Amino acid sequence: MKSLKPRILRFESLPSTNTELARQASEGAGEGLSILADEQTAGRGRLQRAWSSPRGAGLYFSILLQPAIAPDRWPLIVFVAALAVGDALSEACGVDTDIKWPNDLLSGERKICGILAESVETPTGRAVIVGIGINLTAEAYPAEIAAVATSVAEASGRPPERETLLAALLRALPRWYSLLHEDDGAGKIVAAWTSRSSYAEGKAVQVANGDEVWQGITRGLESDGALRLETTDGIKIVRAGDVSVRPRIEE
Ligand code: BTN
């Protein structure tokens, strides 16, 4: 049984907790090393986007994982993180969340948390850095995305407690991570993710990946977490991309 024991390094300010952890991992830091920053000056999101990270407005956290699992299970690491954040938001803040494929946490259809997983070579082999950004207050995100973003303060109606949320996250992550290492763990993780996501089945969505855009109805997940999308050309297996609810066609 793999047991994850997070150890936290705290910083007032960093360009990016993922970047700092990648540096430390390449110098031999071990699994479980985690970095928390009060602010990030160059926070990074998926698909080369910036992640706004003003001081005290968000939880900016990264953890180093070196799972002992078959390569086809590695994509499920982000599902482990999404499930753990969902538990932590529920336990610590009373906020229920939906998951948008692959790993955006939504509250009231607006994004409250983003997850960025990056693989890194370390002296002991390949590892992955999982970066988690949770909006604590509305100051975390730029005003121009207010229609599609939210925060713990807005969703819970009370002041966010970063440390309580962090403690809940540090309890939840090892639980799901350990499940990933069990023989039937992959199936259980995909099932748990599916049960918590309104995007898993029967949702009309658009998926954009670079210049490519597909439209279709979601039809569940493959065992490695890829999204099955029913398009007019048949089932397409989506392994990367940005999912949005399909724009309504005006009649
Ligand atoms: C996304 O685009 O949804 C992913 C956002 C991930 C943001 C977090 S904040 C902590 C860690 N450090 C970073 O630079 N990014 C991640």
Residues 167 and 81: their CA atoms lie apart, in Å, by 14
pLDDT given at position 247? 64
pLDDT-above-90 percentage for the chain: 93
> What mean pLDDT comes out for the span 228-243?
94
When the pLDDT of each residue in the chain is averaged and rounded to a whole number, the result is 95
| Confidence band, pLDDT 50/70/90 cuts, at residue 246 | confident
Q: Which of 132, 136, 169, 244 to mutate to test the pocket of ligand 1 (most atoms within 8 A of CB)?
A: 132
- Quote the ligand 1 centre to 93 CA distance (angstroms): 20
Ligand 1 atom nearest 53 alpha carbon:
9
Q: How far, in Å, from the CA of 234 to the mean position of ligand 1?
A: 34
pLDDT at residue 30 tops 80: yes
Q: Ligand 1 pocket test: which of 49, 116, 130, 150 has the largest number of ligand atoms within 8 Å of its C-beta?
A: 116
CB atoms within 10 A of CB 221: 24
Q: Are 99 and 197 in contact (CB under 8 A)?
A: yes
The pLDDT of residue 34 is 98
Question: Rounded to whole angstroms, how far apart are CA atoms 102 and 222?
Answer: 12
Question: Which atom, in ligand 1's list, is nearest to the CA of 42?
Answer: 14
- Positive or negative, the Cα torsion across 48, 111, 195, 166? positive
In this prediction, residue 250 carries a pLDDT of: 47
What is the number of the ligand 1 atom nearest to the C-alpha of 17? 12
How far does residue 183's CA lie from ligand 1's centre (Å)?
30
Q: How far apart are CA 130 and CA 81, in angstroms?
A: 8
Mean pLDDT on 80-109: 97
**Average pLDDT of span 89-103:** 96
The reported pLDDT for the residue numbered 5 is 95
Q: Which atom of ligand 1 is nearest to the CA of 104?
A: 3
Ligand 1 center to residue 44 CA distance, Å? 5
Q: Is the pLDDT of residue 248 over 70?
A: no
- Residue 90: half-sphere exposure toward Cβ, Cα within 13 Å: 14
* Residue of the CA atom closest to atom 15 of ligand 1: 44
Whether residue 251 is predicted with pLDDT greater than 70 in this model: the reply is no
Give the pLDDT band of residue 47 (cuts 50, 70, 90). Answer: confident
Residue 2 has pLDDT above 80, yes or no: yes
Ligand 1: atom nearest CA of 61 is 10
Q: What pTM was estimated for this model as a whole?
A: 0.96
- The pLDDT value recorded for residue 11 is 98
